Structure 1
Amino acid sequence: MMQMVNSRAFVVVSFFLTGCVSLFPEPSKEGKRIVLQSLKELRKSHVSLSDIVMIDEPAATGPVATTRISVLRQDEAGLMLQDMLAGTEWPESLPKIIQTHLVEALEYSGHFKGVGRVEDNLKSTLLMIPEIRHFDLLEDQGVFRKVQIELEIKMARSPRRDLLAQRVFKSEAFVTEQGLKGVMMAFNQAYQRILDELVQWVLEAQFKN
């Protein structure tokens, strides 16, 4: 749970999907788990922090709070309808996956005395409070167009939860190949961009009482 590594360490963030062989029109009887791994080297930071950071499970509503993959579909009238991707889901709820990835990313940065989850009940100096606003696949006229991700991050002084900083991170990526592979490539691209910006912001921000 607590881990110290040097600042040149690599962040290994895995995107897990339990997907069926065929997305349309019905899921295959034999499903398979698709694992995408992205290796990304952290940018150098001259900041050296001794804080212990606890990360709360991200708040979320609707499909993004579950194991389902949210799809926003535009109908003929131009209305945006929320649906779920057929036959495919995350192996656990999206908030839990993102919480784990945030813990790993801050651990691997090597700039903190310790990093963990709020449920670990450890004494800490900083608290990260995330919220998932969007984690959606956009479909238009039966074609997957792009993915959009939006996370709000609050940093607070623990244990009083006095707000120190707040920022909204947005990222999107176009689906360049139709099907599950193309969808996951887009999700991974947009997600990695947000993680990179988020970690750098946490490292560079001056959190003061």
Structure 2
Amino acid sequence: MRAARNIIGLCLALAMSGCALAVNGAPPQTYDLVAPEVKPVRGQPLPVQLVVRTPTAVRALNTERILVRPAHERISYYPDAAWSDRLPRLIRARLTEALEDSGHFNAVVTEDDRVTSAYSLQIAIRAFEMSVNGKPPEGHVALSAKIVDERAGKVVASRRFETRVRAKSDSVSEGVAAITTAFHDVSRELMRWMTNGSRRSRLGAGS
């Protein structure tokens, strides 16, 4: 009887944790989100330490599961498939990696580093999904970004970035490929926006 209760308790714990477990008991196929390749900046980096905060997201996106949208008002998930981490943390890690590789800033950190930074990049995830809404399947990514002056407590600049990339099919592997390409496109556009001439000068002057 005690063993049965332990098994039931374990099942309930797994269900409540939100893990993307397959019905047949096999572990889900795990997909990593690769950081976009960027060209290092020429010249000296800005004497600015930038903190990339963990993006905010609605509950449907704050998960390891890979979202599929079969209709505008409906959502589902790929069965037996998952991202390698919860999506907000994964996006934070890959954006941090790309910004570090770009060499635009003296240092790029996250709030986990527990250091004080003059500026922060704050992201809201608006869409990160495979769309099959009666059209050819496509990866859809939309991020809302803010550059915040942490000392003054004000938003320096804000903008929404969005793109869609056609997928070869609606399979999980092709869906992940299309979502990843869309993420790369959005990330590069976001980084160009952050480091254009006028914004770079303003951040440098405020350091």
Q: Which category describes the TM-score, using the shorter chain as reference length?
A: 0.7 to 0.9
What TM-score does the superposition give when structure 2 sets the normalisation length?
A: 0.76
Per-residue CA deviation, residues 121-170 of structure 1 (Å, 9 max, x unaligned), is: 212111111110111211246x8611211101100112343110001010
What TM-score does the superposition give when structure 1 sets the normalisation length?
A: 0.75
1:124 and 2:121 matched: no
Which runs of 5 or more structure 1 residues have no equivalent in the other structure? Answer: 1-17
Partner of 1:7: none
What percent of counterpart residues are identical?
20
More displaced, 60-69 or 47-56?
Answer: 47-56
- The number of equivalent residue pairs is 183
Of structures 1 and 2, the larger Rg is shown by 2
- What's the RMSD between the two structures over aligned residues? 2.8
SS of equivalent residue, structure 2 residue 60: helix
SS of equivalent residue, structure 1 residue 71: strand
Greater fraction of residues in helix: 2
Q: 1:171 aligns with which of 157, 160, 163?
A: 163
1:83 and 2:83 matched: no
Structure 2 vs 1, CA of residues 163 and 31 (structure 1 numbering), >3 Å: closer, same or farther? closer
Output aligned runs, 1:5-24, within 5 Å. none
SS of equivalent residue, structure 1 residue 88: strand
8 Å Cα contact 1:70/1:137 also seen in 2? yes
Greater fraction of residues in strand: 1
8 Å Cα contact 1:47/1:203 also seen in 2? no
SS of equivalent residue, structure 1 residue 153: strand
Output aligned runs, 1:1-209, within 5 Å. 29=26, 31-35=28-32, 37=34, 40-42=37-39, 44=41, 48-74=45-71, 80-140=73-133, 145-204=137-196, 205-206=199-200, 207=202
SS of equivalent residue, structure 2 residue 131: strand
Which runs of 5 or more structure 2 residues have no equivalent in the other structure? Answer: 1-18
Quote the Cα distance in structure 2 between the aligned partners of 1:89 and 1:72: 16
